[in-house]
Structure 1
Amino acid sequence: MPEVQIAHSNHATTRRAARLSVAPMMDWTDRHCRFLHRLLSGQTLLYTEMVTAPALVRGGALHLLDYSPQEHPVALQLGGSDPQELAQAARLGSEVGYDEINLNCGCPSDRVQSGTFGAVLMKDPARVAECVAAMREAVGVEVTVKCRIGVDDQDPDLVLPAFLDAIHTAGCQRVTIHARKAWLQGLSPKENRDIPPLDYHLVHCMKALFPDMHISINGGINSLQEARTHLDAGLDGVMIGRAAYHQPADILAGADPLIFEAGQPADPFEVVHEMMPYIEQHLASGGRLHQITRHMLGLFAGRPGARAWRRVLSEGAVHEGAGPEVLLQALDRVAPDEQVEVS
């Protein structure tokens, strides 16, 4: 658990942060990734990887809740389908200082389906409402939901409004909608992120239908300009996933001024140096360099020298005893700002 705990953000603060958020992504948005992302944007809402309620409550895997205080505002995403178990897991997350507890109703993986949670919960809105109510009763921070527009042969035009009505009635005031169906049979999790067609229009219609809900859109959004388009059209927030991970500077470095009208764009070169104390602390506690630098490979995407940056990090960080000097060697391969042509 974090030794230093910061008071929970109030709902208004976290809602403002949700104008732009980085999606929860398994094996990607761990605490090291989130620390990097926070250096790039002081405002954006960050999410953990999905943590299953059984792992916390039955398995006692409380290390999965570890985070750095600097990550605030940060939300914990839970997976599960048992209301009381989710309530216990939510309480554990709230006690260590997470600013929001989010229920996963969108992940289509086989492992998630076998646990009767994730996207399969789109078929049981009454169960989701029961889970939301139990979690809300257990914690003082906001309980939110991330969902799809439907699954399998469901008609999203009918299913999504009914789903939102159920969770809204249970007290959920904030939802993130991945604007694709999930196919629980026949498509892999990766294919479920690309093949089902996007239906942004339906998500915008939900905002008109539920005007007092805070609705964020997710799926296929690859730039801050696209994010602003959705915000300007009336949605409350935009969640970006893979683009924020693979091109973190492109998405997050300019987020504070462009999305939140606060501060200046972050400089990726400065961010590398700001990562050094964090890296040194991680190494001193027995960690390995590549556990952090794997999240930094795309930091200079699109810039001259980016390929050399990735190569030096990929090859050097895995060696036994590798330290911060590997980052400095990689940084020497990247062209500084004044050498980058602006079109």
Structure 2
Amino acid sequence: MILQCQRNSFQKEFTTTVKSCQEVPKYVSTPEEKRTKVYEVIPEDTILFPEGGGQPSDRGWLDDEEVIKLERRGEDVVHFVKSPFTAGQTVKQKIDWELRFDRMQQHTESPTGKMMTEKEMKDLEKMVNEHIRDALPIIVNVFEENEPPPKSVRGLPEDHKGQVRVVTISGVEDNMCCGTHLAHLGQLQAIKLLSVDRGKGKGSKSTRSFFLYYVAGGRVLSRLQVSLEKESLEKESNHSITFNTRATNEQLEIMLKYMEDHRDFAHSRLGGPSGRVITLRMWEELALSLNASGCGPSKPALKWQKTWVDWKSKTKKKCLKIRHDQGRTGGGPPTQVGLSPLEERLISFLEASVEGDQTLPEAGLPPPDF
């Protein structure tokens, strides 16, 4: 089944009908509400794109109810929300357009390739930007189940049924793809290649896949803005400034909110062939938000990933010490160190089950007693 988000990637609102709605157990880790009901809503159609083809899920709403997760099940897309809907009910869908357009810009370019020299990367970057200036059209063709697509395209997932979408960049390539795409390459604005990395796995250097790191569209401008701000600070201090690399509480809160909104990403559950690609893109997306916050240091995505790992480790150790001190029976002075509200929220998030109404003892943490 071709979804409305695939038929019209630029549609921002859409009215459809609810096919079914059922309650599922869910544990929500927020300071305000420890447990809440969550419902699986399946509409007749949707403009909210579920994760697939190397593209993360959209963010959006059913009426005014935020969709906290999207999941493809066969031909249906399940929308997870915190309020019930009824079968046959008419609902208005809305998407976070700024996020959708950014992800379309990143998704339109392929993230894999071959190992390249610096000169080859420059030549490739020049060629791609020439295609962007030429505004080459992006054409989507739909093939019926019994109609073979072009031989130049790659295979389908095993659970795919029905029609097949083939996305063609005129004169460049054809690809089977379920994602949302731009109308022409001119909407990419520009692309900047950053680096290339040898992928993991077996195979010779000639057959192994490689990951090409890049930014496109608005992310190019965001990167440039961060660089200009750093350059300005260096000039003002006569090149003697020492940058503080410690994340601020405001940045940690932005990071945690992103993880709460993207739980599969936070818990490293983005599997499948496109899982690593999606993970890399989402770290880049989060890094841009953190760097643009204006309330702390700017770092590349890899450094922010380390910040997340270190913050989790430090907070869990602190939590274990507090619980150990609370459980002592031999007297002694009470612990003078407590968890901050943000740290409590992090611990609750780490111990919360994404799929069930139960806690997950992540990394050996005992159930909370505060």
TM range (shorter): under 0.3
TM-score by length of 1: 0.26
TM-score by length of 2: 0.25
Q: Which has the higher strand share?
A: 2
